[in-house]
Amino acid sequence: MKAIADTLEVARSNLYDKVRRAAKPRGSYCKSDEDLLPLVRRLVHERPTYGYRRITALANRELTRSGEPAVNHKRVFRVMKQNGMLLTRHTGRRSGRVHDGKVVVMRSNLRWCSDGFEITCWNGDPSASHSSSMPMTARSSPGMPSWAPASAAAWSAT
């Protein structure tokens, strides 16, 4: 025994205990989830968009109120996975091309027509503007040429 302990560079007492002690077979996980399953099922039914982490938080809140020990999020994940209650995984990728480069507006140049010559809303109605009732014109705005027409209608006529 001494020669083996010296070769392995371990204590003799450790080797002696390992030889004399019966090997203890390690069992599988044996904690019962029957007490947790109804609680998780009720919480998922009440909030179907919640994932396992939020369900764990809600379950732990209820368990602490009743004086029971808290559960681990990995246990809740396992229970939800075994019973088909998990949400689909979010990958962060969208399917297909989302934007083809075209901006949809009601009519041509509607989006950019309010660049200092006349204040218009998205529907093209200058009376629905947020500013004063008098439209801002090129002559009234500083730095704009005096030859510019007073309204957008005059621009389209030119």
Q: Determine the pLDDT at residue 83.
A: 93
Q: Determine the pLDDT at residue 14.
A: 86
Q: Determine the pLDDT at residue 153.
A: 56
Owning domain of residue 143: 105-158
Q: Are residues 120 and 157 in the same domain?
A: yes
Q: Are residues 78 and 117 in the same domain?
A: no
pLDDT, tens digit (0-9, with 9 covering 90-100), for 48-85: 999 999 999 999 999 999 999 999 999 999 999 999 99
Q: Could you say which of 50, 82, 114 is where a domain stops?
A: 82
Q: Are residues 78 and 126 in the same domain?
A: no
Q: Determine the pLDDT at residue 39.
A: 96
Total count of domains within the chain: 2
pLDDT for 143 beyond 60:
no
Q: Are residues 109 and 73 in the same domain?
A: no
pLDDT for 92 beyond 90:
no
Domain contains 8: no
Domain contains 55: yes
Q: Are residues 146 and 110 in the same domain?
A: yes
Lowest mean pLDDT of 17-21, 30-34, 125-129, name the range.
125-129
Q: Are residues 64 and 109 in the same domain?
A: no
Domain contains 62: yes
* Mean pLDDT across 23-28: 74
Cβ contact 73:52 at 8 Å = yes
Domain contains 28: no
Q: Are residues 112 and 157 in the same domain?
A: yes
Percent of the chain with pLDDT over 70: 63
